[in-house]
């Protein structure tokens, strides 16, 4: 009985050893096959990203982002296999472009790359001494496209030295004013959000550009109240171009 048990144990050990050997051989074979496939797709000319092919690098969603900046991201990949392109690294480089809010890069068999871009949406102009930029709702500054036309008010109160968080806070104030004003905002050409507690706007009223101090809330109500009384105000103060609307019971002319 003991002898039979020993024989069975030897058979089991032999089968186990053989099984492990087969699995190891299969693993090595798979690894070698994978290496050969990798070598093939990275060296065979049919997978090369060619400069001569117009659709080798295709863009989707690109309207205002500078195509030259996007092309420079993929410059190292031309003349090489698309399977050698580090897609994650290319995506990170795309996200560093001002107009690109999100992006994805994928391979299209056998020799193309597809770039999908979600662009940022500007909400206002920002004026600096160095020039005029656009700004999106998160406070990111954008270079104005050469041939694009936008009809946004100017968001003032933003400095060149502001941090991204400070710019974001200014934009949040601007959007709050814009939302509260609603249709009344059509005549507003500038919103100064430098001080959230004392928002100032510039509006076209009766063919005149007037500076109006609105405070920190009730923007539409205060502005509408001013418009309702403006004919009388204009008669009494024809030369005044700045008014304080923060007090509930009066409108104060500012010199």
Element housing 100 (H / E):
strand 100-108
The residues, any chain, with a CB within 8 Å of residue 95's CB and separated by 6 or more, are: 102, 103
Distance, in Å, from the CA atom of 91 to the CA atom of 25, rounded to the nearest integer, reads 38
Helix residue ranges per DSSP H, the chain: 2-43, 67-73, 87-95, 164-181, 219-236
Nearest Cα to Cα of residue 77 among 107, 104, 40, 36: 107
The pLDDT of residue 167 is 97
pLDDT in tens, 119-145: 999 999 999 999 999 999 999 999 999
Q: Determine the length of the chain.
A: 255
Q: What's the confidence (pLDDT) of residue 137?
A: 97
Distance CA 222, CA 244 (A): 10
Under 8 Å between Cβ of 60 and 104: no
Give me the phi and psi of 237, to 5 degrees please: -130, 70
Question: What is this structure's pTM?
Answer: 0.82
CA atoms within 13 A on the CB side of 232: 6
* Cα–Cα nearest to 98, from 57, 129, 133, 58: 133
pLDDT tens column, 186-218: 999 999 999 999 999 999 998 899 999 999 999
Q: Do residues 111 and 45 lie in contact, with contact meaning Cβ atoms separated by under 8 Å?
A: no
Sheet of strand 208-215: strand arrangement: 141-142, 131-136, 122-128, 154-156, 188-192, 199-205, 208-215, 242-244, 252-254
In order along its 255 residues, the chain shows pLDDT tens digits of 555 555 544 554 555 454 554 444 444 455 444 455 456 446 676 889 999 988 999 999 999 999 999 999 999 999 999 999 999 999 999 999 999 999 999 999 899 999 999 999 999 999 999 999 999 999 999 999 988 899 999 999 999 999 999 999 999 999 999 999 999 999 999 999 999 999 999 999 988 999 999 999 999 999 999 999 999 999 998 889 999 999 988 999 987
Record the tokens describing residue 55, joined without a space.
Answer: 């659709």
pLDDT of 25: 47
């Amino acid at each position: 009985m003991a002898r039979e048990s020993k024989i069975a144990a030897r058979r089991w050990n032999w089968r186990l050893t053989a099984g492990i050997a087969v699995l190891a051989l299969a693993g090595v074979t798979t690894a070698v096959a994978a290496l050969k496939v990798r070598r093939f797709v990275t060296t065979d000319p049919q997978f090369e990203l060619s400069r001569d092919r117009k659709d080798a690098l295709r863009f989707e969603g690109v309207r205002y982002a500078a195509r030259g900046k996007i092309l420079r991201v993929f410059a190292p990949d031309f003349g090489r296999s698309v399977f050698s392109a580090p897609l994650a690294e290319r995506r990170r480089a795309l996200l560093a472009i001002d107009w690109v809010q999100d992006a994805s890069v994928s391979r299209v068999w056998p020799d193309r790359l597809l770039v999908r871009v979600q662009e940022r949406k500007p909400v206002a102009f920002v004026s600096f001494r160095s020039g005029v930029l656009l700004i999106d709702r998160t406070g990111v500054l954008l270079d104005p496209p050469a041939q694009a036309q936008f009809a946004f008010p100017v968001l003032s109160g933003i400095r060149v030295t502001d941090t991204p968080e400070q710019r974001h806070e200014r934009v949040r104030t601007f959007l709050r004013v814009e939302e509260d004003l609603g249709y009344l905002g059509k005549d507003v050409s500038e919103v100064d959000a430098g001080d959230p507690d004392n928002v100032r706007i510039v509006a076209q009223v009766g063919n005149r550009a007037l500076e109006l101090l609105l405070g920190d809330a009730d923007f539409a109500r205060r502005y509408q109240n001013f418009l309702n009384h403006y004919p009388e105000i204009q008669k009494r103060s024809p030369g005044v171009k700045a008014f304080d609307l923060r007090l509930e019971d009066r409108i104060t002319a500012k010199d």
